[in-house]
Amino acid sequence: MQADRGTELGLSLPGSLVPGSTRILVLTRPAFVFVSPNTQKSLATETKACPTPTEHFSPNQPSSLTLLDKIFFLQGHSQNHHNNSWILSQNTRDSQIYGIPRYRENPKPRVMATKPKLFYFRGRGRMESIRWLLAAAGVEFEEEFIETTEQYEKLLKDGRLLFGQVPMVEIDGMVLTQTRAILSYLAAKYDLYGKDLKETVRINMYTDGTLDLMLMIAVAAFKPPAEKEESLALVVKRAKTRYFPVFEKILKDHGEDFLVGNKFSWADIQLLEAILMVEELDASVLSEFPLLKAFKTRISNIPTIKKFLQPGSQRKPPPDSHYVEVVRSVLHF
């Protein structure tokens, strides 16, 4: 028998065995699958004692086959080891084969993972950057909007808000709170957090800066009209004199398309979010920052982000009076 026969099923097999024994490919459906008449009895016993099969057709895509469809190897005993080659054939002249099913390589998963679920008000606030990060990663998510005091108090009563605050995100069997903790987890999970600690700390520095700028905008919405106008004017001034010059210099110094490691990261996503928020206050804010202007165009055209920027997406509009009223009513401030 030829060892390369294994390629028929898309498997990679070792080339030799210890003389005196034979590796036998066994499928867990049916009881006897790929055996010679002399070894059926011993193989039946060994099949019952096998561990749960875990081999996949490809290391890059988890198998979605049912337990009975998994393939694994046993150590079988035979008087003939067939030149120390691996037995793998669908030819009945070589051995007795009973009902070997046909398989597709890399089948599509049959069970979809649960979508992340976001709990927050129907507006931007501290949740918007989380929406941006998930959308940029191409991850679909669900939202439950808090619109009444009763909803909020139930979350508190159930002990789901660690420090009595939203945003809250259900993901991977966990209930997460605290904005930066959630963002850091998502960035790491979706490979948007740099390749090493040095890149990660730079991403943290840049995102902390843009978060500070965006928080100034979020807080301004809850101030009296005159004070709000003054606060938003200060946001534009700070963007032009403190924040945007820093990022313009970063792009100029390394001459790359992205902020960190020349790879798309959380830092790029959040900087674009901040730029667009400030542009809502002053459309000409990037007039003195040509590299940031080009950066904005470049990142906006990444397919997942381009989709998120389209009308009808889960991106939220700037806070209006209704949003402010609901938040004040629920949180009693």
CA distance 276 to 259: 17
The strand pair at 117-120 and 142-145 is best described as: parallel
Q: Is the pLDDT of residue 203 over 90?
A: yes
pLDDT in tens, 174-189: 999 899 999 999 999 9
**Is residue 79's pLDDT more than 70?**
no
SS3 127: coil
Residue 210: the pLDDT is 94
206 vs 54, residue with greater confidence? 206
CB-based contact 119:146 (threshold 8 Å): yes
Q: How far apart are the first and last CA of the chain?
A: 79
Bridge partners for 117 per DSSP:
142, 170
Grade residue 103 by pLDDT with cuts at 50, 70 and 90: very low
Instruction: Kindly report, residue by residue over 289-325, the tens digit of the pLDDT.
Output: 999 999 999 999 999 999 999 999 999 999 999 999 9
pLDDT of 11 strictly over 50: no
> In this structure, how many other beta carbons lie within 10 angstroms of the beta carbon of residue 116?
20
Two tokens, residue 80: 């003939």
pLDDT of the residue at 163:
85
CB 42 within 8 A of CB 77: yes
Burial of 320 (0-12, 13-18, 19+ CB in 10 A): exposed
- What are phi and psi for residue 47, nearest 5 degrees? -60, -40
pLDDT digit string (tens) for 231-244? Answer: 999 999 999 999 99
From residue 147, how far is each of 67, 176, 238, 332 by CA, in Å?
A: 45, 20, 33, 13
Per-residue pLDDT band for 105 (boundaries 50, 70, 90) equals very low
Which pLDDT band, with edges at 50, 70 and 90, does 57 fall under? very low
Cα three-residue angle 264-268-274, rounded to 5 degrees? 160
Cα distances from 227 to residues 221, 240, 329, in angstroms, run 10, 20, 21
